[in-house]
Amino acid sequence: MISTFTRRARTALVGGAAAAIAATGLLVSAPATAAPSSDNANAAAQCSGRSVPASKISIQLFSYNSWARQVGTEAVLAEIAEIGYKNVEPFGGTYEGRTAEEFRALLKEYGLKAPTSHGSTNEATFDDTMAFAKTVGQRYMGSGGFALSGIRAGMTYDQVVDVAESMNRLGERSVKNGTGKLFGHNHQQEFTTTVVDPATGETKTAWEVIAENTDPRYVTFQLDILWAEDAGVDTAALIEEYGDRIELLHIKDGLLNGSARAIPTDVGEGEINWGPILEAAQGKVKLYSVERDGAPADAEFARDSFEFLTCFEF
């Protein structure tokens, strides 16, 4: 029987995965500027600690793919640091040909860390992926999805278990490498894809099967709030049920659009009820990464979302 938090998903199935992330090279960076001092930090940082501490807030740089193409990753990092961010979550296209050492130095220049990234989960090349991540200073490994081919409609129970087993193997390798657990990042299909457990006859979501068949020593989850809610999930209840299996959140807001795909907005400007979610996350979630697919090419999304999280009271 499908858990309470997924019952709505059975009657509101939403098809389609998130668009694939294109890890292409970007333009040459803008000239470097000095890292912002605490005196120059955006006034939003004054709210830090009243809700989510700034030290736990990150931003997925895919949000600014188009902006970085115009001005370069370095200029985007400078603006993000000025707002008050301490962490970023890169994806493949944000390195612009830099080595791991060069990217680590760039982050340090602006007082930033990259504890997570959306990279590759190819088992054959994972040693190289981990080596880059270890130099940069990552504490978690993962991608914008799940291992192998990810989760898709029509999968069998055994195919979902295969994904879980690949995540266990990758996670164990990463923990032993010193780069931390492997995370799975959901879209809608992890909750709308259901399979029958041959041992019990129960119908379960792909998410449930992966959670049951992964080792918490090696595997965790980065719960994308908007896409889970878009699939009919009560994400506050999901966090309560799974406890510290969900160590990472993607803080993504938007307008829920019925059977059509949700429309992303700045955090705090959509239809997500954040109070119960942030309350459930207290003491469990280690990192809150904001994201907006296709954010406008300016600092507004980063600023609005940072202010929302650091000043939200519940």
pLDDT digits (tens, 9 = 90+) for 193-224: 999 999 999 999 999 999 999 999 999 999 99
For the residues 163-192, what does the mean pLDDT come to? 98
pLDDT digits (tens, 9 = 90+) for 101-148: 999 999 999 999 999 999 999 999 999 999 999 999 999 999 999 999
Question: Which residues are 92's β-sheet partners?
Answer: none
| Model confidence band, residue 36 (pLDDT cutoffs 50, 70, 90) | very low
Following DSSP, what letter does each residue of 102-162 receive, concatenated? Answer: HHHHHHHHTT-B-S--B----GGGHHHHHHHHHHHT-S-EE-SS-STT---TT--HHHHHH
Q: Is 11 left (phi over 0), alpha (psi -120 to 50) or beta?
A: alpha
Provide the pLDDT for residue 308. 95
Question: Please, what are the domains in the chain?
Answer: 4-9+45-311 (3.20.20.150)
Tell me the CA distances in angstroms from 89 to 12, 118, 170, 278, one per residue in order.
Answer: 31, 7, 19, 20
The pTM assigned to this predicted structure is 0.86
Contact (CB, 8 A) for 246 and 285: yes
Three-state SS string over 191-234 comes to HHCEEECCCCCCEEEHHHHHHHCCCCCCEEEEEEHHHHHHCCCC
Backbone angles phi, psi at 75, to 5 degrees: -65, -40
